[in-house]
């Protein structure tokens, strides 16, 4: 199996594979987010306590949970790139970082918009919010470290080390609502036991979480392909590709 | 003929060398300390000299100033060795890199962290810190500043090869400093209210042990990237 997987470390194969996967990810992402958002925003029942303003959950929770998943994906690729010296993994990590930063930002902004009607304030310095803000800073650190090296092989390694060190923050975010008395509500979706949420609200939320994951996958593939082309500009297969596109 | 030297010998040789160099460049020790004192003095001027207000914010001010001072002083940790090539000699030597990195970080902490801990109570008096918080202040600084040196050294090692590393460094390491800041200041606050704070200290101690074990490897790996 490893031999089979290893052949995709080759830039050209990775480029072609991600090109084949992209339409699937993109269509499914549009489908899932479309269904989840329309169901959640228009048809899900009104919350008896929070009224209609709870509906921002259908954006906020997917963005927040995917901000952590994207970080783990980035750190895992960085780890693979560092340990097995696979350059494609480094490029994947570099491709994920800005997407993760944007998703984290969306989670913070929607959280603030939700906090205003519910808690009466845009922002509180509470464990969950602060650790999510730290996550945004970590993403920005990885991006700017990657950008500040001329030699992109070194840049990927340096940014990879930082990404791996930053993984320590992920469990802190995840469990912050259980470890500290937080204004932020504890997790309502549970994998092992029954979720403390009405199924009519839960299903569109789960669909949207899945859709966000697919969307991040799709954008990552686009950026990953661009990154491969940028790093392999001198390779003959990239030149052939460019000539086929009519670039001189 | 060449039997090599033991790990302990290598560790103490490097530690002695770094201490000696720093003592001959006294600015390296005193400038971060002066910076620390100056930043702390700015706050009473900025937010007003009312003792109640100062008492409330004193732990935070002292700790934030300590973070900034430690970050500024860290920049020099590998710079000179990188510039004159002795860092590369260390990377080439048969002794494990994490051991030598640990010696360098320890030397740095002895020269910048310890003076900072010694000056802190004086500044706490200026800021009217609660009388029963002094023990907590000293304990959190003693446990926390080595963590700052260890985590900061990762960022420094990553940016040592870059010309514009300074601003980038703050972006890289200040987020990693935040947990230390949170637990240290809440320990001092708890002590001010006569509440037990051993739990906070235990967490900072755990951070110290964790970073003492893991950070040298990360620093070593980063140095190998930077010196390539």
**pTM of the predicted model as reported, rounded to 2 decimal places:** 0.84
| Within a domain: B2 | no
| Within a domain: A163 | yes
Mean pLDDT of B172-189: 88
CA distances from residue B181 to A63, A195, B36 in whole angstroms, order as listed: 28, 35, 16
- B window 173-202, beta carbon within 8 A of A: 174-176, 178-179, 182
Nearest beta carbon to residue A161 from set B161, B176, B221: B221
Mean pLDDT of B86-98: 86
Radius of gyration, alpha carbons of chain B: 18
Q: 3-state class of A96 per DSSP?
A: helix
What are A125-140's pLDDT values in tens digits?
Answer: 877 888 889 899 999 9
pLDDT at B2 over 80: no
Residues of chain B in contact with residue A145, where contact means CB-CB under 8 angstroms, are 158-159, 168, 172
What are A152-183's pLDDT values in tens digits?
Answer: 888 888 899 899 988 888 887 777 777 666 66
| Within a domain: A71 | yes
Cβ contact A141–B226 (<8 Å): no
Nearest beta carbon to residue B162 from set A82, A137, A148: A148
| Within a domain: A9 | no
Mean pLDDT of A232-237: 84
**Best CA proximity match to B44, nearest among B119, B122, B128, B120:** B128
pLDDT at B9 over 90: no
CA-nearest residue to B175 within chain A is A134
**Best CA proximity match to A32, nearest among A206, A191, A220:** A206
ipTM over 0.85: no
* pLDDT of res. A195: 63
Helix (H) or strand (E) segment spanning residue B153 = helix B134-159
* pLDDT of res. A105: 95
Mean pLDDT of A17-27: 91
pLDDT at B29 over 90: no
Q: Contacts for A152-157 with beta carbons within 8 Å, 24 or more apart?
A: A152/A231, A153/A87, A153/A90, A154/B161, A154/B225, A154/B226, A154/B228, A155/A94, A156/A78, A156/A81, A156/A87, A156/A90, A156/A91, A156/A93, A156/A94, A157/A81, A157/A82, A157/A90, A157/B225
Contact B56/B44 with Cβ under 8 angstroms?
no
| Within a domain: B139 | yes
| Within a domain: A207 | yes
Higher per-residue confidence, A246 vs B160: B160
- Domain limits at A37? 14-244
* pLDDT of res. B1: 42
Residues of chain B in contact with residue A97, where contact means CB-CB under 8 angstroms, are none
- Give the span between the Cα atoms of B30 and B111, in whole angstroms: 9
Q: What's the number of domains chain A is made of? A: 1
- Give the span between the Cα atoms of B145 and B73, in whole angstroms: 12
| Within a domain: B1 | no
| Within a domain: B144 | yes
* pLDDT of res. A4: 73
- Distance (Å) from the C-alpha of residue A179 to the closest C-alpha of chain B? 13
CA-nearest residue to B176 within chain A is A166
| Within a domain: A164 | yes
* pLDDT of res. A72: 93
Owner of token pair 């990810």 = A25
- Give the span between the Cα atoms of A162 and A71, in whole angstroms: 12
- Domain limits at B149? 7-227
Q: Name which of A165, A167, A173 to mutate to probe chain B: the one with the most chain B Cβ atoms within 10 A of its Cβ.
A: A165
* pLDDT of res. B63: 92
| Within a domain: A1 | no
Mean pLDDT of A97-102: 94
Q: What's the number of domains chain B is made of? A: 1
CA-nearest residue to B210 within chain A is A168
| Within a domain: A182 | yes
Helix locations, chain A, DSSP H: 2-6, 11-38, 57-84, 87-119, 127-148, 152-166, 169-179, 199-231, 236-244
Tell me what percent of the residues of chain A surpass a pLDDT of 90: 32
B206 in contact with A, Cβ within 8 Å = no
* pLDDT of res. B3: 56
| Within a domain: A7 | no
Look up residue A47 and give its two tokens.
């919350």
**Best CA proximity match to A205, nearest among A5, A7, A63:** A63
Q: Give me chain B's average pLDDT, please.
A: 87
């Amino acid at each position: 199996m490893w031999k089979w997987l290893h052949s995709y470390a080759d830039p050209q194969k990775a480029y072609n594979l991600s090109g084949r996967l992209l339409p699937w990810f993109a269509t499914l992402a549009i489908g899932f987010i479309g269904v989840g958002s329309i169901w959640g925003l228009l048809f899900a029942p009104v919350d008896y306590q929070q009224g209609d303003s709870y509906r921002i959950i259908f954006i906020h929770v997917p963005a927040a949970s995917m901000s952590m998943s994207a970080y783990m994906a980035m750190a895992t690729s960085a780890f693979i790139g560092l340990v097995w010296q696979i350059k494609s993994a480094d490029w994947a990590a570099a491709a994920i970082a800005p997407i993760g930063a944007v998703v984290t930002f969306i989670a913070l902004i929607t959280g603030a918009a939700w906090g205003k009607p519910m808690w009466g304030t845009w922002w509180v310095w509470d464990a969950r919010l602060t650790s999510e803000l730290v996550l945004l800073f970590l993403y920005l650190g990885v991006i700017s470290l990657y950008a500040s090296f001329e030699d992109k092989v070194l840049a990927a390694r340096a940014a990879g080390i930082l990404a791996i060190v930053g993984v320590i923050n992920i469990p802190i975010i995840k469990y912050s609502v259980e470890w500290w008395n937080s204004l932020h509500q504890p997790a309502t979706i549970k994998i092992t036991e029954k979720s403390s949420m009405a199924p009519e609200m839960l299903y569109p939320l789960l669909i949207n979480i899945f859709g966000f994951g697919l969307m991040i996958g799709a954008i990552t593939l686009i950026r990953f392909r661009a990154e491969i082309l940028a790093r392999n500009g001198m390779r003959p297969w990239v030149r052939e590709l460019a000539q086929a596109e009519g670039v001189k | 003929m060449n039997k090599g030297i033991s790990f302990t010998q290598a560790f103490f040789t490097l530690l002695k060398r770094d201490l000696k160099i720093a003592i001959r460049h006294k600015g390296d020790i005193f400038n971060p300390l002066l910076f620390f004192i100056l930043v702390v003095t700015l706050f009473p001027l900025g937010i007003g000299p009312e003792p109640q207000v100062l008492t409330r914010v004193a732990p935070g001010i002292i700790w934030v100033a300590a973070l900034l001072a430690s970050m500024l002083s860290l920049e020099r940790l590998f710079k000179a060795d990188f510039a004159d090539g002795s860092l590369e000699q260390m990377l080439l030597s048969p002794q494990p890199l994490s051991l030598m990195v640990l010696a360098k970080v320890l030397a740095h902490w002895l020269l910048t962290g310890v003076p900072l801990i010694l000056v802190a109570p004086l500044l706490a008096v200026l800021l009217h810190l609660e009388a029963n918080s002094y023990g907590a202040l000293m304990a959190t600084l003693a446990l926390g500043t080595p963590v700052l040196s260890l985590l900061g050294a990762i960022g420094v090692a990553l940016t040592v090869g870059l010309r514009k590393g300074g601003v980038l460094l703050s972006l890289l390491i200040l987020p990693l400093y935040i947990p230390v800041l949170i637990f240290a200041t809440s320990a001092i606050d708890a002590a001010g209210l006569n509440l037990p704070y051993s739990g906070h200290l235990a967490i900072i101690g755990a951070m110290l042990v964790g970073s003492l074990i893991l950070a040298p490897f990360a620093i070593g790996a980063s140095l190998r990237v930077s010196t390539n």
